[in-house]
Chains A and B, each alone.
Chain A
Amino acid sequence: MTAKIDNTTAMRIDSAEVKEEMLKKYPVKVARRRSKQIVVNKVEENDVVPEILSNTRTIPGILTMRGCAYAGCKGVVLGPTRDILQITHGPIGCGFYSWLTRRNQTRPKDETGTNFMPYAMSTDMQEEEIIFGGEKKLKKAIQEAIELFHPKAIGVFSTCPVGLIGDDVHAVAREMEERYPDVNIFGFSCEGYKGVSQSAGHHVANNKVFTDVVGQIEAPKDGKFRFNILGEYNIGGDAFEIERITDKCGLTLHSTFSGNSEYVDFASAHTADLNVLMCHRSINYMAEMMEKRYGIPWIKINFIGANATAKSLRKIAAYFGDQTLIDTVEKVIAEEMVETEKVREEVRARCEGKLAMLFVGGSRAHHYQELFTEIGMKTISAGYEFAHRDDYEGRKVIPDIVIDADTRNIEELTVEADATRYRPRKDETELKRLAKEGLTLSYYPGMMPEMENNTFVIDDLNHHETEILIEKYKPDVFCAGIKEKYVIQKGGIPLKQLHSYDYSGPYAGFKGAINFYQEIDRIVNSRIFRFVKAPWQESPELAGSYAWNK
């Protein structure tokens, strides 16, 4: 452990040199690939940033942070919903590891409300099924689940062997649905080897929920300003805080995909008038498909950070364009900001100028920079685990993205306007008004245009590169996940988990911002890292008063 370096010194480090050092140790082939995934940021006119290679194969043998398509589909997107009964079709491990480990909180309406989230269900596939096929066992498992739990809907999630042995989970789902017409049963082809990361699983999940759930129930909610939040998974209670704020503003939150959600909310989500997108990566497919089929526009928002939350609320109010709503939103922001500002100022005094690095997810590495900025900290390096170029560079690059074989293996649905239910929510005049007010629909500008020049952007960061980053920049806090946590901390640098929040939260909204300010204050000013070396290591010279061994 050496002394921390400050903000300005860190920005003076030659990132290109650091990059060279990272690549030096790699075999030629690896270095060639990684050099395209490690980018020194430079923002030019019209938010043009350097191209970054992403959503590409993980290099075998490299200590990656990434997980698989099953984790993205079952773990991330569907996991947080409480009344879709989820059966993992495969050997026991996958179901076991995705059992309650993501901290998605949920609040059933009352004591008797359905909540399957504490249950891990699996066909626990054995050798016999691998050899003779597992469809029979899956059917039986679905039957047993229906008889025991009486669910409205069942999702079946495929693990690696399922695709290889040729089990058709979709055919099984159809057959069982015929036997049990009151239960909506659907399968996901989210085998772990699909795609190159969790991202493939997000897409698979989006497709199936869109085709088999959304639009199944016509149950519009009361309220003038009805909207859905896409890509908010209620980790640590984030969705609860967002619900509190949007309720207070007089907005009607129809459904959240998928934190604290129920089947009926998904099934009737097409009746809302706006989709707001939190996690662009995991659910932008759903936003686009709902727009095409039902005419619901989407806007990118971010409830991470007090300023970001205020800005997002203003965007939503501007979209609906109602003066009463705009006034209420302003009143709520003013009210909430009092306490937020107080804590922020107090914390800022102790955190100003400190350095952060964020390597997480497909959105959080971007969103959380807001919170660090609010307390005067600088993000000197960031990257995603499983994002695509549009998450880095903005959606403007989508037409230029080269689709490789791994991505082509994930179905891209062709969606057309619904014959009876397509209803554009805004007419020409309204769209003009929104454009004039600077509200961009259906766009995400990406992370890199919002980062400073000479910051380091690294896709699918691995252990070797992490070690060099830490050695060169000595950040005050490193944000990643559980696998990285203790690796970083052994080196005397605190790690904040931004998947599980280190079992705290919420960090979204205004109260969440307060929690995060205080958490970062605790972390970067923690005393314990000062005591890593024992007194006799700090000053090892001998100065004995007694000579015991003589």
Chain B
Amino acid sequence: MLLRHTPQELAERTALTVNPAKTCQPLGAMYAALGIHNCLPHSHGSQGCCAYHRSALTRHYKDPIMATTSSFTEGASVFGGQANLVESINNIFTIYGPDIIAVHTTCLSEVIGDDLKQIINKAIADGKVPEGKRVIHTNTPSFKGSHVTGFANMTQSMVQYLSENTDRKLNLINIIPGFVEPSDMTEIKRIVSEMGIKSIMFPDTSGVVNSPLDGKFHMYPKGGTPITDIISAGNNRFTLALGRIASLPAAQLLDTKCKVPYKLVDLPIGLRATDTLIDTLRKIAGVSVPESLMAERGQLVDVITDNSQYFYRKKVALVGDPDHLVSVTQFLADLGMNILLIVTGTPAGPKFERRIREFTGDNVVVKCGLGADLFQFHQFIKQEKPDLIFGNTYAKYIARDEDIPLIRMGFPIYDRVGHQYFPIVGYCGALRLIEKILTALLDRQDRDAPEESFELVM
């Protein structure tokens, strides 16, 4: 057994986290910053943070993740990081020539109290920021929130620094996609454009972290939201925020700062969440839903109908990020599956738990925030023995020990490809999830069936 020291019996833990179900804010901020075209994310702290975040994101995407660091030494930690950041800004613009640097803080620079706004102004005053170039920042102390809130913070800072309302109403809507895969972002844009609606999306990592190999390294790949789009987001008609934790703060700020009204919907994972997205879009834009999307929807409903026997009352345990968990829970419950357990290390608050219970009833165990970790998740699994686990790559240690199939979802996925290229959002994404679930369950049935009941047709 790989996790041989995990006992089934729960013991109270208040100080020790074992096998976390989250990581730190700066990682999410770096990922969000990659979603701006011609942007170089910058980590203001020790260089280890930047190395770790780049490594984690690279392992997940199998693509270049470019980001710089202030490389604090002990001296900088004592005297403040201003000199390091100003020098970084100068070096970055001189050597790497991005249009924008998106700085995020780390626990180190937060603890010493660096005032980023002031340092950036100093760099501008010192002439270190070339004409027309920009430097933005967000605060992402690692001792608060999680990678998901870090993503939310950087997205909100894009609005804070860039978006403007110049009283020139544009006939576009803003889509804030949340901490989802580049494939998901592409699919959401496709659905919106299929409906004949003009939109911008920020951040947008598609084409950045799943870029093609064409024989030349592009420091700034083709993808990413143009800065001008984020600026003019303040002139757009409406904002659609997908996912409360990752997208709401930016949408709210765009409303208060630029008077762009917003609506919050769940991440469009599964049938009903996708319905909600499309229905909302239809009402906002006053368009009718095209036949093409109706056909996709029909296929999804068809496949669910055809296979409902395999879903019925199957016990599921899920660990992941809150916005994903809300939508996936709704979907699995609609399939007739029995949700036993939901765990996220992100502090998602009581609203999260209420949303989950809307779909599952009261029997589900929901753990979120401090102390909600994979160790605890595993202990519940030992007790409840679900038929299926949803989680990131780290959950495979549990899946192997307990001999339960795992559907990989969330961050990080270090050991399989697919998430970069194939979405789980929209009707097509839901179909892909169905395929994954069925394959996992039916492979298991094939493996375990007695010879006499080994089925040819399933």
Chain A residues close to B by CB (< 8 Å) = 1, 25-27, 30, 57-71, 87, 90-101, 111-112, 114-116, 118-127, 129-130, 137-141, 143-145, 147-149, 159-161, 163-165, 191-197, 405-406, 409, 463-464, 467, 481-483, 485-492, 532-533
The answer to whether A92 and B87 touch across the interface, beta carbons within 8 angstroms, is no
| Chain A CB within 10 A, most for which of B49, B89, B107 | B107
Could you tell me the distance between the alpha carbons of A488 and B142 in the complex, rounded to whole angstroms? 31
Could you tell me the distance between the alpha carbons of A114 and B4 in the complex, rounded to whole angstroms? 8
Chain B residues with CB below 8 A from A489, complex form: 213
- Which among B47, B55, B58, B85 is the interface contact of A68 at CB below 8 angstroms? B47
Chain A residues with CB below 8 A from B90, complex form: 27, 61
10 contacts between A and B (CB under 8 A): A26-B94, A61-B95, A63-B68, A66-B47, A68-B49, A93-B49, A164-B112, A409-B74, A532-B213, A532-B214
Chain A residues with CB below 8 A from B23, complex form: 92-93, 96-97
The answer to whether B68 and A61 touch across the interface, beta carbons within 8 angstroms, is yes
Task: Add 18 more A-B contacts to A66-B71, A101-B55, A118-B19 (CB < 8 A).
Answer: A30-B95, A58-B47, A63-B67, A68-B46, A90-B107, A93-B23, A97-B56, A99-B20, A111-B1, A119-B18, A144-B16, A148-B16, A149-B5, A160-B45, A406-B73, A464-B95, A486-B58, A490-B211
Chain A residues with CB below 8 A from B73, complex form: 57, 193, 195-196, 406
Q: Within 8 Å of chain A (Cβ to Cβ): is B421? A: no
Query: In the complex where A67-B51, A126-B370 touch, is A116 in contact with B111 (Cβ < 8 A)?
Result: no
Which residue of B has the minimal Cβ distance to A26? B95
Could you tell me the distance between the alpha carbons of A127 and B397 in the complex, rounded to whole angstroms? 31
The answer to whether A122 and B20 touch across the interface, beta carbons within 8 angstroms, is yes
The answer to whether B345 and A92 touch across the interface, beta carbons within 8 angstroms, is yes
Interface 1/0s, chain B 88-99, versus A by CB < 8 A?
111110111000
Question: Nearest-CB distance from B329 to chain A (Å)?
Answer: 24
Could you tell me the distance between the alpha carbons of A164 and B63 in the complex, rounded to whole angstroms? 35
Chain B residues with CB below 8 A from A485, complex form: 58
Could you tell me the distance between the alpha carbons of A93 and B46 in the complex, rounded to whole angstroms? 13
Which residue of A has the minimal Cβ distance to B2? A118
The answer to whether B216 and A62 touch across the interface, beta carbons within 8 angstroms, is no
- Which among B65, B84, B94, B96 is the interface contact of A60 at CB below 8 angstroms? B84
The answer to whether B143 and A91 touch across the interface, beta carbons within 8 angstroms, is yes
Could you tell me the distance between the alpha carbons of A486 and B222 in the complex, rounded to whole angstroms? 16
Could you tell me the distance between the alpha carbons of A62 and B73 in the complex, rounded to whole angstroms? 14
Chain B residues with CB below 8 A from A101, complex form: 55-56, 59, 414
| Chain B CB within 10 A, most for which of A143, A164, A194 | A164
Query: In the complex where A115-B4, A486-B64 touch, is A69 in contact with B91 (Cβ < 8 A)?
Result: no
Chain A residues with CB below 8 A from B107, complex form: 90-91, 93, 125, 130, 159-161
The answer to whether B91 and A483 touch across the interface, beta carbons within 8 angstroms, is no
Q: Within 8 Å of chain A (Cβ to Cβ): is B7? A: yes
The answer to whether B48 and A69 touch across the interface, beta carbons within 8 angstroms, is yes
Could you tell me the distance between the alpha carbons of A59 and B88 in the complex, rounded to whole angstroms? 8
The answer to whether B66 and A482 touch across the interface, beta carbons within 8 angstroms, is no
Chain B residues close to A by CB (< 8 Å) = 1-5, 7, 11, 13-20, 22-24, 26-27, 42, 45-49, 51-56, 58-59, 62-77, 84-85, 87-92, 94-96, 106-108, 111-112, 141-144, 146, 211, 213-218, 345, 370-371, 375, 394, 397, 414
Could you tell me the distance between the alpha carbons of A197 and B74 in the complex, rounded to whole angstroms? 12
The answer to whether A57 and B214 touch across the interface, beta carbons within 8 angstroms, is no
Query: In the complex where A164-B112, A482-B55 touch, is A127 in contact with B144 (Cβ < 8 A)?
Result: yes
The answer to whether A93 and B52 touch across the interface, beta carbons within 8 angstroms, is yes
Question: Nearest-CB distance from A251 to chain B (Å)?
Answer: 31
Query: In the complex where A61-B89, A463-B66 touch, is A165 in contact with B111 (Cβ < 8 A)?
Result: yes
The answer to whether A141 and B143 touch across the interface, beta carbons within 8 angstroms, is no
- Which among B16, B77, B96 is the interface contact of A193 at CB below 8 angstroms? B77
Could you tell me the distance between the alpha carbons of A112 and B96 in the complex, rounded to whole angstroms? 53
Could you tell me the distance between the alpha carbons of A87 and B15 in the complex, rounded to whole angstroms? 11
Query: In the complex where A160-B111, A164-B77, A192-B48 touch, is A491 in contact with B143 (Cβ < 8 A)?
Result: no
| Chain B CB within 10 A, most for which of A58, A97, A114, A532 | A97
Query: In the complex where A159-B107, A160-B111 touch, is A93 in contact with B27 (Cβ < 8 A)?
Result: yes
| Chain A CB within 10 A, most for which of B69, B108, B217 | B217
Could you tell me the distance between the alpha carbons of A482 and B62 in the complex, rounded to whole angstroms? 9
Could you tell me the distance between the alpha carbons of A101 and B412 in the complex, rounded to whole angstroms? 12
Could you tell me the distance between the alpha carbons of A196 and B20 in the complex, rounded to whole angstroms? 28
The answer to whether A486 and B62 touch across the interface, beta carbons within 8 angstroms, is yes
- Which among B15, B63, B74, B88 is the interface contact of A61 at CB below 8 angstroms? B88
- Which among A118, A138, A405, A533 is the interface contact of B3 at CB below 8 angstroms? A118
Query: In the complex where A123-B17, A405-B75 touch, is A60 in contact with B69 (Cβ < 8 A)?
Result: yes
Could you tell me the distance between the alpha carbons of A140 and B15 in the complex, rounded to whole angstroms? 6
Query: In the complex where A93-B52, A129-B143, A489-B213 touch, is A193 in contact with B26 (Cβ < 8 A)?
Result: no
The answer to whether B16 and A145 touch across the interface, beta carbons within 8 angstroms, is yes
Query: In the complex where A60-B87, A64-B71, A126-B144 touch, is A492 in contact with B215 (Cβ < 8 A)?
Result: yes
Could you tell me the distance between the alpha carbons of A291 and B73 in the complex, rounded to whole angstroms? 32
Question: Nearest-CB distance from B68 to chain A (Å)?
Answer: 5
Question: Nearest-CB distance from B106 to chain A (Å)?
Answer: 7
The answer to whether A27 and B106 touch across the interface, beta carbons within 8 angstroms, is no
Could you tell me the distance between the alpha carbons of A116 and B88 in the complex, rounded to whole angstroms? 39
The answer to whether A130 and B52 touch across the interface, beta carbons within 8 angstroms, is no
The answer to whether B71 and A60 touch across the interface, beta carbons within 8 angstroms, is yes
Could you tell me the distance between the alpha carbons of A94 and B107 in the complex, rounded to whole angstroms? 11
Chain A residues with CB below 8 A from B24, complex form: 91-93, 96
Which residue of B has the minimal Cβ distance to A406? B73
Could you tell me the distance between the alpha carbons of A405 and B77 in the complex, rounded to whole angstroms? 14
Chain B residues with CB below 8 A from A164, complex form: 77, 108, 111-112
Which residue of A has the minimal Cβ distance to B12? A144
Could you tell me the distance between the alpha carbons of A254 and B113 in the complex, rounded to whole angstroms? 48
Query: In the complex where A60-B91, A92-B22, A464-B95 touch, is A71 in contact with B48 (Cβ < 8 A)?
Result: yes
Could you tell me the distance between the alpha carbons of A193 and B49 in the complex, rounded to whole angstroms? 10
The answer to whether A25 and B370 touch across the interface, beta carbons within 8 angstroms, is no
Which residue of A has the minimal Cβ distance to B209? A486
Chain A residues with CB below 8 A from B49, complex form: 68, 93, 192
The answer to whether A91 and B142 touch across the interface, beta carbons within 8 angstroms, is yes
Chain A residues with CB below 8 A from B85, complex form: 60
| Chain A CB within 10 A, most for which of B13, B73, B345, B371 | B73
| Chain B CB within 10 A, most for which of A71, A114, A129 | A71
Chain A residues with CB below 8 A from B89, complex form: 61
Query: In the complex where A90-B107, A533-B215 touch, is A127 in contact with B77 (Cβ < 8 A)?
Result: no
Chain B residues with CB below 8 A from A491, complex form: 215-217
Chain A residues with CB below 8 A from B3, complex form: 118-119
Query: In the complex where A30-B91, A60-B85, A115-B4 touch, is A122 in contact with B17 (Cβ < 8 A)?
Result: yes
Question: Nearest-CB distance from A471 to chain B (Å)?
Answer: 10
Chain B residues with CB below 8 A from A124, complex form: 17, 20, 370-371
Question: Nearest-CB distance from A262 to chain B (Å)?
Answer: 15
Chain B residues with CB below 8 A from A482, complex form: 55, 58-59
Chain B residues with CB below 8 A from A159, complex form: 107
Query: In the complex where A97-B56, A126-B143 touch, is A68 in contact with B1 (Cβ < 8 A)?
Result: no
Question: Nearest-CB distance from B153 to chain A (Å)?
Answer: 15
Chain B residues with CB below 8 A from A122, complex form: 16-17, 20
| Chain A CB within 10 A, most for which of B59, B65, B95 | B95
Chain A residues with CB below 8 A from B370, complex form: 124, 126
The answer to whether B51 and A66 touch across the interface, beta carbons within 8 angstroms, is yes
Query: In the complex where A91-B107, A144-B13 touch, is A160 in contact with B77 (Cβ < 8 A)?
Result: yes
Query: In the complex where A68-B51, A70-B48 touch, is A120 in contact with B18 (Cβ < 8 A)?
Result: yes
The answer to whether B18 and A61 touch across the interface, beta carbons within 8 angstroms, is no
The answer to whether A532 and B215 touch across the interface, beta carbons within 8 angstroms, is yes
Chain A residues with CB below 8 A from B4, complex form: 111-112, 115
